[in-house]
């Protein structure tokens, strides 16, 4: 799944704020389409030199070609983030979203494996969670649970076991 950024200020208070909701929604759909192209350069093309037709774009965006053309006319005259029009229509008919790079998030680096210190901290949190769970279970349903010193929960208590002694963070079955 690929993501792209949308600035709420641009939609709510920027140049798109004066546009009708259809024009705003169409802008978001054009961003989504540009996000799914192979080139990911803000140009609505099937491949370099092979622009998407307006009929195709309108179909994908669930709108009419007339509404698309009206929105493109607006986008060509609106000044976007880079002090240039939001959209440029190239000679071959390619629709180029001029501020495309603004909507991109930098690629996040692969996560590093956890350090030994982080592993110890995770283990400690798990133990505390198990102990808390053991306390809850023991207080709710004493007759059905054996709680070991390491906080693990096991099976049923024997019928002759009825007494439980609490010691710091652990429970002993007596």
What is the residue-averaged pLDDT of the chain?
76
d(CA 53, CA 143): 71
| CATH for 8-103, options being 3.60.90, 3.30.2310, 1.10.10, 1.10.3470 | 1.10.10
Least-confidence region, from 25-34, 51-60, 120-129, 165-174: 165-174
pLDDT 10s digits, 126-167? 888 888 777 666 555 555 555 555 555 555 555 555 545 444
110 pLDDT above the threshold of 80:
no
What pLDDT is stored for residue 167 in this prediction?
46
Q: What is the rounded end-to-end Cα distance, in angstroms, of the chain?
A: 54
In the chain, domain spans: 8-103, 116-173
Tell me the pTM.
Answer: 0.57
């Amino acid at each position: 799944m690929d993501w792209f950024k949308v600035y709420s200020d641009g939609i709510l208070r920027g140049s798109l704020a004066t546009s009708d909701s259809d024009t705003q929604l169409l802008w978001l759909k054009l961003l989504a389409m540009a996000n799914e192209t192979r080139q990911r350069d803000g140009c609505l093309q099937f491949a370099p030199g092979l622009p998407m037709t307006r009929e195709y774009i309108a179909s994908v965006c669930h709108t009419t070609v007339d509404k698309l053309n009206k929105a493109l006319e607006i986008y060509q005259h609106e000044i976007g983030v880079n002090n240039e029009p939001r959209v440029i229509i190239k000679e071959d008919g390619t629709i180029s979203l001029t501020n495309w790079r603004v909507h991109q998030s930098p690629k996040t680096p692969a996560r590093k494996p956890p350090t030994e210190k982080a592993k110890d901290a995770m283990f400690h949190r798990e133990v505390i969670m198990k102990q808390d769970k053991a306390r809850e279970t023991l207080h709710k349903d004493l007759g059905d649970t054996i709680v070991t010193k390491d906080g693990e929960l096991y099976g049923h208590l024997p019928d002759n076991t009825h007494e439980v002694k609490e010691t710091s963070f652990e429970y002993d079955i007596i």
